[in-house]
Amino acid sequence: MSGSILPLGGLPLGGDTPWLGGLVTARAICLLAPNPSPMTLDGTNTWILAEPDSGSVFVVDPGPDDLDHLGSIVAATAGRRVAQILLTHGHSDHSDGARRLADLTGAPVAALDPMYRYGSEGLQGGMILDVDGLVVEIIATPGHTADSLSFHLVADGAVLTGDTVLGRGSTLVVPPDGRLGDYLESLVRIGALIESTGSSWILPGHGPALADPLAAVAGYLAHRHSRLEQVRGALRAGAVTADEIVAMVYADTPLQLWPAARMSVTAQLDYLHETN
């Protein structure tokens, strides 16, 4: 396993198979946005959720404000009504296209953070949405950001995790509002949901859908705990600043990713200070 923490190869989950999106479960189609990068993997996954033969759909994470991509979302809804546009969180690679898609479709934009809502009272953990019998439970999963939500697509045994669990690699806890303690609790919450409902899919915000969701969550938790152990080791070895810890713990990570690694180390130091 490589030592890198970021989406470029942290965990052997999802492998290196290219991801193109498409129909994954009976009620979930992924349209891949054209914004690939080291931080967004293959691009942002826009999910269209609908009961088969229903006249209404939910769109999750329209992605960047890209006219071609938004046009393909409209085309994929094929004359059906977009009931709501749901955001897993406010980061621009998920939300930038939301308002234009709202204007194109007449659908409101629902998010936890009021800043990203548009014509909607928004979303909270514990809410249950229903469009033409398609039931989606909203799960609060803060950590990557404070406003991160996951969506449980009950009928398909699938959990849409946004950037909380990715299709490959590992995700970033982004300070200041992203907090590692929250993140670890959110992973445990997702794992418990998958276990109690027998869910069989994670549909992530980037990268391939995961058909072994419990193993994915367990891998994420193990990775976080081993990173924390490495940071504790670096502190014992005399590292003081976040930069010194990055140089020790992320020595085999490409330099271009060190700024992101530094964010992660900062989140880990905050966590260690809070829990010690």
Binding test (CB under 5 A) with Zn ion, winner from 42, 61, 66, 93: 93
Task: Using the minimum distance from each CB to Zn ion, give the nearer residue, 96 or 163.
Answer: 163
Closest separation in Å from C-beta 52 to Zn ion: 28
List residues bridging with 28 in a β-sheet: 25, 49
Closest separation in Å from C-beta 35 to Zn ion: 9
Task: Using the minimum distance from each CB to Zn ion, give the nearer residue, 64 or 108.
Answer: 64
Q: How far apart are CA 11 and CA 74, in angstroms?
A: 34
Q: How far apart are CA 267 and CA 177, in angstroms?
A: 10
Task: Using the minimum distance from each CB to Zn ion, give the nearer residue, 42 or 163.
Answer: 163
Closest by Cα among 187, 198, 154 to 26 = 154
| Helix residue ranges per DSSP H, the chain | 67-77, 92-95, 98-105, 180-197, 213-236, 242-249, 258-275
Report how many residues bind Zn ion under the rule CB under 5 A.
2
Q: How far apart are CA 179 and CA 55, in angstroms?
A: 39
Task: Using the minimum distance from each CB to Zn ion, give the nearer residue, 172 or 261.
Answer: 172
In the sheet with 201-204, reading across from the earlier edge strand, the strands are 128-131, 134-140, 149-153, 158-162, 201-204
Closest separation in Å from C-beta 144 to Zn ion: 8
Residue 147 interacts with Zn ion (CB under 5 A): yes or no: no
Binding test (CB under 5 A) with Zn ion, winner from 163, 169, 171, 183: 163
Region near Zn ion per CB under 5 A, out of 62-70, 137-145, 159-167, 253-261: 159-167
Region near Zn ion per CB under 5 A, out of 64-72, 156-164, 174-182, 219-227: 156-164
| Tokens, residue 33 | 């946005």
Closest separation in Å from C-beta 166 to Zn ion: 8
Closest separation in Å from C-beta 138 to Zn ion: 18
| Tokens, residue 45 | 């996954």
Task: Using the minimum distance from each CB to Zn ion, give the nearer residue, 45 or 199.
Answer: 45
Closest separation in Å from C-beta 205 to Zn ion: 5
Q: How far apart are CA 5 and CA 24, in angstroms?
A: 27
Closest separation in Å from C-beta 85 to Zn ion: 16
Region near Zn ion per CB under 5 A, out of 56-64, 88-96, 104-112, 139-147: 88-96
Tell me: cis bond preceding 176? Omega within 30 of 0 counts. Answer: yes
Helix axes 213-236, 258-275, angle to 10 degrees: 80
CB contact at 8 A, 253 and 265 = no
Q: How far apart are CA 45 and CA 87, in angstroms?
A: 12
Region near Zn ion per CB under 5 A, out of 55-63, 90-98, 176-184, 209-217: 90-98
Closest separation in Å from C-beta 38 to Zn ion: 12
Q: Which residues bind Zn ion (CB under 5 A)?
A: 93, 163
